[in-house]
Amino acid sequence: MPKSSSSSQQQSATGNIVAHASCRVDLAGSTLDLWPLYLFHPGAVTVNFAVNILTRCQIIPGRDSSIHFKSIDTGREDHFRNFDGFCQAKKIQHHLAAHLIHFFMPAGPANNGGFTIETNSESPAGAGISGSSALMVATVAGLARYTGRQLDREQIRQIAQNVEAQLIKVPTGCQDYYPALYGGVNAIHLDVDGIHRQSIAVAPEDIEARFVLVYTGAPRQSGINNWEVFKAHINGDKRVFRNFQEIGEIARAMHAALESGHWPEVGRLLGEEWKLRRTNAPGITTPLIDKLIGAAKRKGAVAAKVCGAGGGGCFVLFVREGSHDSVAEAIRKNGGRVLPFRVNPDGVTVVSQS
């Protein structure tokens, strides 16, 4: 993969650049996507789908040499008089933008031009639906267009994943980037010869009718939870190893059930994965999550699992046909927040505006 070269770097457009990428809901096989865990579980696969809860990066060329980072959803901002001021800054609020500018513009922007990077995520903070990874994909894609870099989707994934690892300072999995890059319903196969994304042909309305996405209002730290499980696996914890073997089997079965439209099996497998994950990490659930799942099951939910590494954030419910609205109402009455969604068929998009 070629690296940025300041000598040949040129802004590709004088207008604004806007990039969008989707968040995701994971159904089975997550955490196995951490290298090298999947190498110890042949046939590892992660199954997820993209949702129309979007992240956005806008890059606005400036009229002078000043540099501005602005995060709409977090309210964090940085102002620098020029690139030298940015490099010398002791404190930066918008770390994602800062890390990527160092990668794409190691010696500064062409012609010492200034710019604004404005980001926004529709995902609640710490929701576990990969808002940070999707925003990373959008920002990498936007900066590639701005600096004239030709990157394919796998190169975008590599940069986004590696920079996110630098930010959170623990290993990052690969699965979160593929819904952002491709959209749709995905099986991410994790093999010795690399990572292979496969589209699963499922009618979006079938997923939208059978799943309810819930936000607990309590952010979680997926990197910390995953790191504890990662360490236990690498340190030879036989119980964790066996659990991941079973999680791998469930994920392969989930892939097959989605492809064949065997919805009762999808619900059963979702519940089985949740049972295993609860034994892997005690902090994966919370009293509120357990309360909400219980209330939902009394109104027609069949199974549930947390999104991402758990400990708060979001969880997804599989519901009986026709019970979507009653389950959603039970969630709201018991203190949860339902996040309406549609399956997003589109991968990352980048447009230049005059």
* pTM summary value: 0.92
pLDDT at residue 225 in the model: 66
pLDDT in tens, the chain (354 residues): 333 333 334 444 468 999 999 999 999 998 899 999 999 999 999 999 999 999 999 999 999 999 999 999 999 999 999 999 999 999 999 999 999 999 999 999 988 899 999 999 999 988 999 999 999 999 999 999 999 999 999 999 999 999 999 998 888 899 999 999 999 999 999 999 999 999 999 999 999 999 999 999 876 555 556 778 889 899 999 988 998 999 999 999 999 999 999 999 999 999 999 988 887 666 778 899 999 999 999 999 999 999 976 667 899 999 999 999 999 999 999 999 999 999 999 999 999 987
60 vs 218: CA distance, rounded Å: 33
All structural domains of the chain with their residue ranges: 16-199+344-353, 204-338
Structure tokens at 13: 């457009």
- Are the C-beta atoms of residues 120 and 208 closer than 8 Å to each other? no
Domain 204-338 in CATH 2.60.40.10? The answer is no
- Residue 14 is predicted with a pLDDT of 62
Task: Identify whether the C-beta of residue 38 lies closer than 8 Å to the C-beta of residue 190.
Answer: yes
Looking at residue 7, what is its pLDDT? 31
Question: What is d(CA 6, CA 234) in angstroms, rounded to the nearest whole number?
Answer: 40
CATH no., domain 16-199+344-353: 3.30.230.10
> CA dist 341 to 48, 103, 204, 209, 214, Å?
14, 34, 11, 10, 11
Q: Which amino acid is at 270?
A: L
| Strands in the chain per DSSP E | 16-28, 45-61, 67-71, 77-80, 115-121, 185-191, 194-199, 211-215, 301-306, 314-319, 337-338, 349-353
Give the model's pLDDT for residue 6. Answer: 33
Q: What pLDDT, on the 0 to 100 scale, is given for residue 217?
A: 84
